[in-house]
Structure 1
Amino acid sequence: MTVEAHDPRSKKVQIADALRDEIASTPLPAGHRLASLRDLADRFKVTTVTVGNALKVLADEGVIISVPTRGYFVQDRPSEDGAGQDASAPVSRDEINAIHSEIQQLAARVAELEKRTQPLSGT
């Protein structure tokens, strides 16, 4: 699939629309990891920057979530009947930022622990 030059929408919007439709129509389960930036760029015949911008659009909408160093994942969708509203409500940008911060702190702690155990692994 390629983006259409004659389409009045920007490339990032065309890609975001295509991925949104794919996520909705498949439907991809929550937590499903999307293809890498490089793979998506090859698929749509654009740069990774353009794909990244399209994924940011979807992340801002709450369709997907970005996990640093892991990739992009399909976000939980609200239920159709309204049951379990709190559990399936879209995550706010503040909540996502807090989770990212926690992940970064945990990654730093893991890295520190790995440094401490490296000399032990040689014995």
Structure 2
Amino acid sequence: MGIHLTEVENAAVVLKLLGDKTRLMIVKLLENNTCCVCEFVEIFQASQPSVSQHLRKLKDAGIVTEERRGQWNFYSLNRDYDYYSLVEQILKQLPNQDHKFKELEENGTRISCC
């Protein structure tokens, strides 16, 4: 039996979302970490609304999950996502980005919202 069209369409949605370099980097950073919006604002030197918009798109698709802790929202990679294996294969092609968090720690801006 061949691939169902909906499977191709769903894979295309994932690829389109991860075709944006900021969203791709967010997902790569979430591969080994749980992060708050403020950390991404620091890493990308972008506005909070801009980062939140990227996270919303990833969350709406199911690629990331959101957990509220007090007044802050923390994001992590959704390993139960139907197309997680596709996301995982894409992430394997990218270099590790955990050094970005080390830089935040050195700058004193790791989880600055907490």
Query: What TM-score bracket applies, with the shorter chain setting the length?
Result: 0.3 to 0.5
Q: Which structure would you say has the larger Rg? A: 1
Higher strand share: 2
TM-score (norm 1): 0.40
TM-score w.r.t. the length of structure 2 is 0.43
